[in-house]
Amino acid sequence: MGIRGGIDLGGTKIQAVVVGDGADVLGSSRMPTPTSGGPPDVAAAMAAAMRDAAEEAGAGTGDLEGVGVGSPGVVADEDGTVAAARNLPDWEAAFPLRDALASHLDTKVRLGNDVQVATDAEFELGAGRDYSSILGVFWGTGVGGGIVLDGKPWLGRSAAGEIGHVVVRMGGRRCPCGRRGCMEAYAGRLALERRARELLEKGQSTKLFEIMEERGRDRLTSGVWARALKAEDAVAEKLIHQAVKALGAGIASSENLLDVEAVVIGGGMGIRLGEPYVKKIRDAMTPHLFVESNPPVVHVATLGDLGGAIGASLLVKR
């Protein structure tokens, strides 16, 4: 029968899916990530989401061939642990997530890096399926990257793909990671929000925070940015313009190094702003592409919000 589970573990939400052989989604469930407690509480919430998704698919978790997890932090699949997942509560030391989940779910569990599994999903089933080498760029709170070369994920020594921390301006803006001039310092949602607050405090007029409050949010979500752009808010337009320029330079740099066939842009911001902004990123890449006559194709990710969880389910097949 061959149904598999996939869990995308994020800083704000846990997304679980049950997927059939053809990668059709048979059940899904989403819940907020616990913001207090520790790794065992997060594992319990993940198991609950997985049970709900399985129930929607008319199955128990024990019927699943296995469950794959896309996780932030330092993921060691062979050890079954995740460490340094700094968006998650009290999760610095290595926690045995594989065994904790397996005991909840009564099936085997595989762990992978969140961005890499989302890239794998786009490569196998989404916008990258017609190519043999792709670069996935996940433009969200930060900017993550995943690499597939000749059909296989390239993980380096486990930390490859950190495109958000490619330097686009030496000595430039401070990045949430603490370094200077990273692409993410100009493009990540968190960095954009910090910069917008600075400009507000300096007296620049912006509707960003009013829109945030109207929408009942406590941070500048991708939806808030999209609305502010639609309303032609000058601060939003300026900051997103700078983000696009940085993404163009950083992605073009990566292409000059890797020469992949296709770039797939996903993540909360990438998916929300969609093709019109992906076109702007493409245009911003052009002046920096060394082989301008043979640019990579640049697509929006097609699996949307479920891409990470679907990609995680692919880990079970490996």
Chain residues binding a second copy by CB under 8 A are 133, 145, 147, 149, 154-163, 165-170, 172, 177, 179-182, 245-246, 249-250, 252-254, 256-261, 287-288, 290-291, 294
Q: Which residues pair with 32 in a beta bridge?
A: 13
| DSSP at 288 | G
Q: Which is nearer to a second copy, 252 or 315 (CB)?
A: 252
Cα 3 to Cα 66: distance, rounded to the nearest angstrom = 8
Q: Which is nearer to a second copy, 180 or 207 (CB)?
A: 180
| DSSP at 67 | E
What minimum distance in Å lies between the beta carbon of 91 and a second copy? 18
SS3 for 119-131, per residue?
A: HHHHHHHCCCCCC
Cα 6 to Cα 109: distance, rounded to the nearest angstrom = 10
What minimum distance in Å lies between the beta carbon of 221 and a second copy? 25
What minimum distance in Å lies between the beta carbon of 136 and a second copy? 12
Q: Which two tokens stand for residue 218?
A: 């406590």
Q: Which is nearer to a second copy, 242 or 302 (CB)?
A: 242
Q: Which is nearer to a second copy, 66 or 112 (CB)?
A: 112
Cα 193 to Cα 204: distance, rounded to the nearest angstrom = 14
What minimum distance in Å lies between the beta carbon of 172 and a second copy? 8
What minimum distance in Å lies between the beta carbon of 173 and a second copy? 11
CA 258 distance to own-chain centroid: 20
> What is the torsional sign of CA 27, 30, 31, 35?
positive
Q: Which is nearer to a second copy, 111 or 163 (CB)?
A: 163
